[in-house]
């Protein structure tokens, strides 16, 4: 019964944790990428500035010696390009050169397909302080990207392991959190079952005594006879209520009950005959369409009987005189489908949401028929579900309702 709540709680834990973890991972990655890229930029800028400062000039143009060899330059990963003021490349050192045009104003250039980062350092003629060109210092980002890849792997792996651990912890936590609730619910169920069981005998005694008293009405005043009749009616209602509570408590506790092969067609025929008199008394047409196939399910016959009694009783009570009630059964694929349809008062969509709730009755039912307690449909639903089936209902106000019970074949 609490399985769904536990799963929902666990998923909520996991969802919250996953969100926190994602925010954390994104923050760590952003800071890390930013810091590492800045480090490369700083290193390249220092290297470029040192080399640019030692450039030679001739007639206001950069002069690069042909056999220039720059210390500290990693020829495999880094490169230098001297560019004149028109953007022509004058001299190159190193293997990894940027193929992008030298955009002079952009001091940092990144070519993602080559995974290269370049910095353009202006070269100023020390003699007349005029800009004569640029030195473009480039470095391969392969190493950096590899580091980022490892970081991503680490973060993803860490996240998966953390989620697994949180999942395990969550299972433990939800169990801890739900245990007291489940225990108190169990106790409540046990109390309901015990209380309704204990109430059976005194109720029976009251009923028997009233019956005995009413057997000789000659000896009592007419008003006393009426009182005894009222006692009888109330006792019957109370007995029905305790039986319903006991049945619900037993269904909730999923107590093992004897299961047998039940011939649904026979049960429905029997019920249609049994309720015929009540229907006729209210001027209702109660019809039954027997199925073509023999519909057999495995279940507890007492419970199955109770399920359909509740549905048929409802349709009789909630259908005004001259109405029709039709019971039908059929085999649909792998489901046995039983329909109890009436032309009764029907229900609104809002009411339909509550009809299977315990003790729920519509306001009109409360004022019109005092025999019910609002447990009938809750019991019917519990019984259908305990047999692997389900109940659905379609209804239209003032037109009628159709309750459909489905059992797996
Ligand atoms: N066939 C029906 N037609 C109209 N309303 C219905 C029908 N069956 C059930 N209901 C509504 O659902 C409520 C709950 O039904 P149920 O659980 O059997 O309780 P009860 O019959 O004791 O009132 C009823 O009070 C009634 O308002
Ligand atoms: Mg009812």
Identify the residue with better confidence: 97 or 102: 97
pLDDT at 409: 84
Residue nearest to atom 24 of ligand 1 (CA): 361
pLDDT tens for 295-308 read 899 999 999 999 99
Does residue 245 lie within any of the structural domains?
no
Helix (H) or strand (E) holding 111: strand 108-111
Q: Is the pLDDT of residue 287 over 70?
A: yes
| CATH assignment at residue 265 | 3.30.565.10
pLDDT tens for 334-343 read 899 999 999 9
Does residue 173 lie within any of the structural domains?
no
pLDDT tens for 103-135 read 666 688 888 778 889 999 988 887 778 888 889
Residue 362 CA: nearest ligand 1 atom is: 27
CA of 252 to the centre of ligand 2 (A): 19
Residue nearest to atom 19 of ligand 1 (CA): 374
CA of 356 to the centre of ligand 1 (A): 9
Task: Please give the Cα distance from 234 to 373 (Å, whole number).
Answer: 12
The preferred substitution site among 279, 313, 365 for testing ligand 1, maximizing ligand atoms within 8 Å of CB, is 365
Identify the residue with better confidence: 306 or 57: 306
305 exposed, middle or buried (CB, 10 Å; 0-12, 13-18, 19+)? middle
Does residue 391 lie within any of the structural domains?
yes
Regarding the beta carbon of 365 and ligand 1, being less than 6 Å apart is answered yes
pLDDT tens for 396-406 read 999 999 999 99
Helix (H) or strand (E) holding 62: strand 61-63
- In contact, 227 and 214? CB cutoff 8 Å: no
Low-confidence winner among 251-255, 381-385, 394-398 (lowest mean pLDDT): 251-255
CA of 355 to the centre of ligand 1 (A): 7
pLDDT band at 366 (very low <50, low <70, confident <90, very high): confident
Q: Which ligand is nearest to the CA of 313?
A: 2
Q: Is the pLDDT of residue 154 over 80?
A: yes
The structure's pTM equals 0.68
Q: Is the pLDDT of residue 31 over 70?
A: yes
pLDDT at 269: 95
Q: Are residues 136 and 272 in the same domain?
A: no
Q: Is the pLDDT of residue 57 over 80?
A: no
CA of 332 to the centre of ligand 1 (A): 27
CA of 314 to the centre of ligand 1 (A): 6
Identify the residue with better confidence: 366 or 223: 223
Regarding the beta carbon of 271 and ligand 1, being less than 6 Å apart is answered no
Q: Which of 130, 148, 166 is the last residue of a domain?
A: 148
CA of 148 to the centre of ligand 2 (A): 67
Q: Is the pLDDT of residue 365 over 70?
A: yes
Distances (CA, A) of 7 to 166, 167, 182, 360: 14, 11, 14, 28
Q: Which of 100, 124, 148 is the last residue of a domain?
A: 148
Enumerate residues with CB within 5 Å of ligand 2 (an ion).
314, 372, 376
DSSP state of 362: -
Residue 371 CA: nearest ligand 1 atom is: 22
CA of 314 to the centre of ligand 2 (A): 5
Task: Please give the Cα distance from 208 to 87 (Å, whole number).
Answer: 114
Q: Which ligand is nearest to the CA of 372?
A: 1
Does residue 100 lie within any of the structural domains?
yes
Residue 346 CA: nearest ligand 1 atom is: 4
pLDDT band at 99 (very low <50, low <70, confident <90, very high): confident
Helices (H), 216-258: 222-252
Q: Are residues 264 and 403 in the same domain?
A: yes
Does residue 132 lie within any of the structural domains?
yes
Does residue 403 lie within any of the structural domains?
yes
The preferred substitution site among 314, 354, 375, 392 for testing ligand 1, maximizing ligand atoms within 8 Å of CB, is 314
Residue nearest to atom 22 of ligand 1 (CA): 372
Regarding the beta carbon of 323 and ligand 1, being less than 6 Å apart is answered no
CA of 236 to the centre of ligand 2 (A): 15
Report angle CA 394, 397, 400 to the nearest 5 degrees. 55
CA of 230 to the centre of ligand 1 (A): 24
pLDDT at 369: 64
Identify the residue with better confidence: 126 or 259: 259
Report angle CA 116, 141, 91 to the nearest 5 degrees. 40
Secondary structure of the chain as H, E, C letters: CCHHHHHHHHHHHHHHHHHHHHHHHHHHHHHHHHHHHHHHHHHHHHHHHHHHHCCEEECCEEECCCCCCCCCCCCCCEEEEEEECCCCEEEEEECCCCCCCCCCCCCEEEEHHHCEEEEEEEEECCCCCCEEEEEEEEEECHHHHHHHHHHHHHHHHHHHHHHHHHHHHHHHHHHHHHHHHHHHHHHHHHHHHHHHHHHHHHHHHHHHHHHHHHHCHHHCCHHHHHHHHHHHHHHHHHHHHHHHHHHHHHHHCCCCCCCEEEEHHHHHHHHHHHHHHHHHHCCCEEEEECCCCCCEEEECHHHHHHHHHHHHHHHHHCCCCCCEEEEEEEEECCEEEEEEEECCCCCCHHHHCCCCCCCCCCHHHHHHCCCCCCCHHHHHHHHHHHCCCEEEEEEECCCEEEEEEEEEC
Regarding the beta carbon of 318 and ligand 1, being less than 6 Å apart is answered yes
Low-confidence winner among 31-35, 109-113, 208-212, 287-291 (lowest mean pLDDT): 109-113
Q: Are residues 264 and 401 in the same domain?
A: yes
Q: Which of 101, 120, 148 is the last residue of a domain?
A: 148
Does residue 47 lie within any of the structural domains?
yes
The preferred substitution site among 341, 355, 393, 400 for testing ligand 1, maximizing ligand atoms within 8 Å of CB, is 355
Range of the domain at 363: 260-408
- In contact, 79 and 97? CB cutoff 8 Å: yes
pLDDT at 218: 81
Q: Select from 16, 28, 18, 9 the least CA-distant residue to 162.
A: 18
Percentage, residues of the chain above pLDDT 90: 64
- Domain count within the chain: 2
Contacts with 157 (C-beta within 8 Å, 6 or more apart), sequence order: none
Q: Is the pLDDT of residue 370 over 70?
A: no
pLDDT tens for 61-91 read 787 776 677 777 788 889 999 888 888 888 8
Regarding the beta carbon of 377 and ligand 1, being less than 6 Å apart is answered yes
Secondary structure of 306-351 as H, E, C letters: HHHHHHHHHHHHCCCCCCEEEEEEEEECCEEEEEEEECCCCCCHHH
Mean pLDDT over each residue of the chain, to the nearest integer:
90
Regarding the beta carbon of 319 and ligand 1, being less than 6 Å apart is answered no
Pairing state of beta strands 324-332 and 285-289?
Answer: parallel
Does residue 297 lie within any of the structural domains?
yes
Widest pairwise Cα distance in the chain:
143
């Amino acid at each position: 019964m609490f399985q769904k709540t536990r799963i929902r709680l666990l998923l909520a834990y996991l969802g919250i944790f996953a969100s926190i973890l994602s925010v954390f991972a994104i923050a760590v990655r952003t800071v890390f990428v930013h810091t590492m890229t800045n480090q490369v930029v700083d290193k390249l800028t220092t290297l470029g500035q040192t080399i640019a400062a030692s450039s030679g000039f001739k007639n206001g143009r950069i002069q690069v010696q042909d056999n220039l060899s720059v210390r500290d330059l990693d020829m495999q990963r880094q490169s230098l390009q001297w560019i004149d003021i028109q953007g022509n490349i004058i001299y190159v050192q190193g293997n990894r050169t940027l193929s992008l045009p030298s955009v002079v104003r952009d001091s940092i250039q990144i070519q993602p397909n080559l995974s290269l980062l370049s910095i353009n350092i202006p070269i100023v003629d020390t003699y007349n302080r005029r800009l004569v060109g640029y030195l473009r210092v480039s470095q391969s980002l392969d190493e950096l990207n590899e580091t980022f890849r490892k970081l991503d792997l680490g973060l993803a792996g860490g996240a998966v392991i953390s989620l697994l651990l949180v999942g395990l912890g969550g299972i433990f936590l939800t169990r801890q959190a739900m245990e007291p609730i489940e225990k108190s619910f169990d106790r409540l169920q046990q109390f309901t079952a015990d209380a309704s069981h204990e109430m059976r005998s005194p109720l029976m005694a009251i009923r028997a005594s009233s019956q005995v008293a009413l057997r000789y009405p000659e000896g009592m005043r007419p008003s006393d006879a009426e009182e005894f009749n009222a006692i009888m009616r109330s006792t019957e209602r109370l007995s029905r209520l305790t039986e319903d509570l006991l049945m619900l408590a037993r269904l909730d506790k999923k107590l093992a009950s004897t299961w047998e092969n039940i011939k649904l067609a026979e049960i429905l025929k029997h019920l249609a005959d049994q309720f015929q008199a009540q229907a006729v008394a209210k001027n209702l047409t109660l019809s039954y369409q027997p199925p073509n196939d023999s519909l057999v399910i495995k279940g507890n016959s007492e419970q199955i009987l109770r399920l359909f009694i509740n549905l048929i009783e409802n349709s009789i009570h909630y259908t005004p005189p001259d109405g029709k009630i039709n019971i039908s059964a059929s085999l649909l694929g792998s489901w046995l489908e039983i329909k109890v349809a009436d032309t009764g008062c029907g229900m609104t969509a809002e009411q339909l949401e509550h009809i299977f709730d315990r003790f729920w009755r519509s306001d009109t039912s409360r004022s019109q028929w005092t025999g019910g307690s609002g447990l009938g449909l809750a019991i019917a639903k519990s019984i259908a579900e305990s047999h692997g089936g389900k109940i659905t209902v379609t209804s239209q106000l003032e037109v009628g309702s159709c309750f459909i019970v489905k059992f797996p074949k």
